[in-house]
Amino acid sequence: MSGIQGWLRKDGRKGIRNTLVVAYLVECAHFVAAEIVQRFRNTPHEGAVQLIGFPGCFPNEYAARMMERLCTHPNVGAVLFVSLGCESFDKVRAANAVDASGRPVKTLVIQKAGGTKSTIQAGADWITQTLAQIAEGPRAAMGVDELIIGTVCGGSDGTSGISGNPAAGKAFDLLVGEGAACIFEETGELIGCEEIMAERAVTTELGQLLRESVQKAERYYATLGYGSFAAGNAAGGLSTIEEKSLGAYVKSGDSPISGLIKPGDVPPKGGLYLMDVVPDGEVRFGFPNISDNAEIVEMIASGAHLSLFVTGRGSVVGSAISPVIKICANPDTFRALAEDMDVNAGDIIEGNRSIAEVGREIRDLVVAVAAGKQTKSEELGHREFILTYKSFEPIGPACLPGAA
């Protein structure tokens, strides 16, 4: 038995957290939404009320779809939308989607609610009432085979590809073997690995789509004039995007690749899935993901109950909605940032433990966090979130050959 007691949602999915989300629908409403959440700091409900939002005033179908997926995520128990009132975001569509999912939802429009103070008070009052309501929500036993786990690497250095990422890959192999759905990314950091990924695809057609997703990323970055390779990567000992790609690739483990998804697509069953995060069509909105948290958010929109974040240089980020487990690849970085790290994969570098042993630790920690254990970022109060403009075409049936 996993020991996980999930929060049972109307659609049958189960969450590992029961968060009330406050979502601003334009940057002009950000301050008011943040002040509503601030009302619950240093109270027993701190951490249960979390802030997300979309800053743009102009419409974007990707952002609308992402917001709907995030606000109906299994880890979310209720939603408060905060609107200025004149933005283009379709607040009625978003609220209807949440309502249809069986969750309590309310929309506050600042222009109609009396301004800053009145809206903050109305939001805080509704949240206080609603927290008591969702705390009584049904619970149900949850197996590992019901989990969706994402993995991201950020702040990579020369150790990432030989300790942290392969250990995360071993954890993925264990979790996939138990029936979980595991998602890895990012196609812009897998350039040069498309052929070995295609060989792992469960169908020939899927293998070709994997190749094409990486080729699209390569064209996209070439148009931008720069790739997914930061100055910190070079300072940490990486020399080329191909070298970084090989390190990023190994966090996928060795399981067959069951499908190719885009942000907001939920894996239909257990297995290993590649997420294509590079927008379709011409380059419109700049860099595909302007920070690691943007990728974490996309994992969450695709149903990830939690994410594994592998870093060599170091990172302190967490996330709203779904916990983040930080795996430190570099032993020196772990010693410097121990209060922010959950797993010391640097033990592999120093010969204290094997990749398999650290992979087992990560797998066990995934289950413990799903059962309620807080990650370091949760304990510290990290709730980072970012959502920007993108454009995607829907995936076709060949992307998910086992969905039927």
The H-or-E segment that residue 343 falls in is strand 343-344
Structural domain boundaries enclosing 66 = 19-136
Q: Is the pLDDT of residue 280 over 80?
A: yes
Query: Looking at residue 27, what DSSP letter applies?
Result: G
**Is residue 229 included in any domain, yes or no?**
yes
**Is residue 73 included in any domain, yes or no?**
yes
**Is residue 395 included in any domain, yes or no?**
no
What average pLDDT does this structure show over 328-335? 94
On whether both 129 and 168 belong to a single domain, the answer is no
Who contacts 134 (Cβ-Cβ below 8 Å, separation ≥6)?
Answer: 18, 20, 77, 78, 103, 104
- What pLDDT, in 10s, does the model give residues 150-175? 999 887 787 888 899 999 999 999 99
Phi, psi dihedral angles at 77 (to 5 degrees): -100, -25
**Is residue 262 included in any domain, yes or no?**
yes
pLDDT in the model for residue 188: 83
Calculate the CA dihedral of residues 48, 125, 32, 79 and round it to 10 degrees.
50
How far apart CA 277 and CA 275 sit, in angstroms, is 6
Counting the structural domains of the chain, the total is 2
pLDDT in the model for residue 12: 95
On whether both 231 and 329 belong to a single domain, the answer is yes
**Is residue 370 included in any domain, yes or no?**
yes
Q: Is the pLDDT of residue 222 over 90?
A: no
State which of 117, 136, 155 marks the end of a domain: 136
On whether both 152 and 117 belong to a single domain, the answer is no
**Is residue 13 included in any domain, yes or no?**
no
CA pseudo-torsion sign 56, 61, 62, 63: positive
**Is residue 321 included in any domain, yes or no?**
yes
On whether both 97 and 184 belong to a single domain, the answer is no
**Is residue 402 included in any domain, yes or no?**
no
- What pLDDT, in 10s, does the model give residues 362-377? 999 999 999 999 999 9
On whether both 106 and 203 belong to a single domain, the answer is no
How sure is the predictor about 403, in pLDDT bands with cuts at 50, 70 and 90? confident
On whether both 48 and 148 belong to a single domain, the answer is no
Phi, psi dihedral angles at 269 (to 5 degrees): -165, 180
On whether both 310 and 278 belong to a single domain, the answer is yes
On whether both 149 and 80 belong to a single domain, the answer is no
pLDDT in the model for residue 224: 86
Phi, psi dihedral angles at 108 (to 5 degrees): -110, 130
Q: Is the peptide bond before 186 cis (omega within 30 degrees of 0)?
A: yes
